[in-house]
């Protein structure tokens, strides 16, 4: 079996802890797990002393995103190379319907861009304009293989804002289609008033940014989205929860038995608002909060309230971030697709007692389930062989130079980490091997996702 690959002797998390065992890969899928020592295979990966688990599924990242006169510097090739160095084997990015333009056109345009991806990819579709015509388009989008939508409750001046009446209509259509809705939930009015007040006081420098978006703006919008989703009977994922009050709103909904999921990112788990000094690099929406919020989010990761840890990756350069004088002109978003896995291993598993099974669920199994990726998220016979071989002993320090994103800085620079990706396999093919990327542009395949039930 020349075309077979054997990963032998690693400690496997499927996500279940299988102990030290072997994995046989054939025809891009997992063929068998177990004691397979003598099995003939063209490629043998000795994973002794390594951790072996399903590839990370990135469900919130922005390649080539134009924002505030800038554009994120990663295209689908460089972004997925960077991601793969961080264990990413699947990327779900966004296709954005804009006012007056057909959603499917945006989808096809993004599909074209994504052809250079080295990992498998799919899209969420953002709708900003809810009309009878766009509600019909939602069905066409689902039929094109996109079974999750995104809506914004804010950015009115940027044309992204969806009002509550339209939101409810869109949620109801999504429920009819069996699709998932996801939201960026911040109260636009509260932010607008706070921003106007800061302007009136001349507090326009980047360091005033967090004052423009108080926790209540997130708590209120999350609470409202949950009520509308409950009314519509649709499944809801709340993007990038940042605050104690916000995650408590999600937890309360989960306790009532509602299908409400929470996403957060390493940004909110590792940083606090002290980063908002004079340089503008750290501006991201919603803003980074305080210590009590950070701790509440970790608690929610440990107790299962947080379902998904994504990155909201936006690879702006330092120059792009620093160009504007006023905080509202700074393009929002931070790079992070490559650092997420080692940061979560270091801060979660090593430091806070997060179980490896739970880490694998949050990075891979849960997003596969929530976003209907049937072939991904677990190491079981027949599943796609998307696999990370992880060296738990390797020590390194985060620096922008050590990473592969198309930017010159990292919010996590200086952090010391134990553990690093040794190999990343996509459908059985080794795409990352130590410091080298072995995959060519276009290695990834489009994931046509069917809606759930």
> Which residues here bind a second copy, judged by CB under 8 A?
14, 16, 18-19, 21-22, 24, 26, 30-36, 163-169, 187, 189-194, 216, 219-220, 223-224, 227-228, 231, 378, 380-382
CB of 449 to a second copy, least distance (A): 19
CB of 441 to a second copy, least distance (A): 31
CB of 102 to a second copy, least distance (A): 21
CB of 355 to a second copy, least distance (A): 13
Q: Closer to a second copy at the Cβ: 279 or 355? A: 355
Nearest in space to 95 (alpha carbons), one of 118, 63, 72: 63
CA distance 76 to 316: 15
How many alpha carbons fall within 13 Å on the CB side of residue 392?
A: 15
How many alpha carbons fall within 13 Å on the CB side of residue 360?
A: 24
CB of 174 to a second copy, least distance (A): 16
Q: Closer to a second copy at the Cβ: 14 or 119? A: 14
Q: Closer to a second copy at the Cβ: 69 or 164? A: 164
Q: Closer to a second copy at the Cβ: 19 or 414? A: 19
Q: Which residues of 344-370 are buried (b: 16+ CB within 10 A; e: fewer)?
A: bbbbbbeeeebebebbbbbbbbbbbbb
Q: Closer to a second copy at the Cβ: 137 or 281? A: 137
Q: Closer to a second copy at the Cβ: 69 or 163? A: 163
**Is 308 within 8 Å of 370 (Cβ atoms)?**
yes
Q: Closer to a second copy at the Cβ: 101 or 231? A: 231
Q: Can you name the residues that pair with 174 across neighbouring β-strands?
A: none
CA distance 105 to 124: 14
CB of 333 to a second copy, least distance (A): 24
DSSP H or E segment with residue 84: helix 76-85
**Residue 67: other Cβ atoms inside 10 A:** 16
CB of 320 to a second copy, least distance (A): 29
**Is 428 within 8 Å of 29 (Cβ atoms)?**
yes
**Is 261 within 8 Å of 239 (Cβ atoms)?**
no
């Amino acid at each position: 079996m020349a075309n077979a690959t054997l990963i032998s002797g690693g400690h496997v998390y499927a996500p279940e802890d299988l102990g030290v065992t072997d994995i046989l890969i054939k025809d891009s899928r997992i063929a068998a797990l177990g004691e397979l020592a003598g099995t003939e295979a063209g490629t043998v990966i000795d994973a002794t002393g390594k951790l072996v688990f399903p590839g990370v599924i990135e469900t919130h990242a922005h390649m080539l995103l134009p924002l505030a006169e800038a554009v994120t510097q990663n295209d689908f090739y460089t972004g997925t190379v960077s991601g793969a160095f961080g264990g990413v084997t699947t990327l779900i990015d966004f296709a954005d319907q804009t006012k007056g333009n057909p959603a499917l056109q945006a989808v096809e345009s993004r599909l074209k861009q994504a052809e250079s991806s080295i990992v498998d990819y799919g899209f969420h579709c953002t709708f900003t304009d809810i009309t009878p015509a766009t509600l019909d388009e939602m069905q066409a989008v689902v039929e094109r293989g996109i079974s999750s939508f995104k809506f914004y409750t804010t950015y009115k001046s940027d044309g992204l804002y969806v009002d509550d009446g339209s939101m409810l209509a869109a949620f109801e259509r999504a429920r009819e289609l069996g699709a998932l809705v996801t939201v960026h939930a911040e109260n636009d009015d509260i932010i607008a008033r706070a921003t106007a007040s800061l302007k009136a006081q001349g507090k326009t420098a980047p360091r005033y940014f967090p004052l423009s978006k108080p926790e209540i703006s997130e708590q209120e919008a999350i609470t409202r989205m949950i009520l509308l989703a409950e009314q519509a009977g649709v499944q809801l994922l709340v993007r990038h929860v940042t605050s104690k009050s916000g995650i408590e709103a999600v937890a309360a909904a989960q306790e009532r038995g509602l299908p409400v999921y929470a996403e957060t990112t390493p940004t909110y788990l590792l940083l606090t608002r002290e980063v908002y000094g004079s340089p503008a690099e750290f501006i991201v929406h919603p803003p980074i909060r305080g210590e009590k919020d950070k701790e509440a989010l970790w608690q929610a990761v440990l107790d299962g309230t947080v379902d998904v840890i994504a990155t909201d990756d936006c690879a702006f350069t330092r120059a792009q971030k620093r160009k504007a004088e006023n905080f509202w002109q700074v393009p929002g978003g931070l790079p992070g697709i490559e650092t997420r896995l080692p940061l979560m291993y270091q801060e979660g598993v090593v430091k806070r007692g997060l179980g490896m099974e739970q880490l694998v669920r949050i990075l891979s199994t849960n997003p596969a389930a929530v976003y209907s990726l049937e072939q991904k998220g677990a190491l079981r016979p027949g599943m796609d062989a998307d696999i990370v071989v992880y060296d738990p002993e390797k020590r390194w320090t985060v620096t922008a130079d050590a990473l592969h994103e198309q930017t010159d800085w990292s919010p996590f620079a200086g952090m010391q980490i134990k553990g690093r990706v040794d190999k990343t396999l996509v459908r059985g093919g080794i795409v990352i091997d130590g410091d080298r990327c072995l995959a060519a542009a276009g290695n990834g395949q489009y994931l046509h996702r069917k809606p759930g039930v």
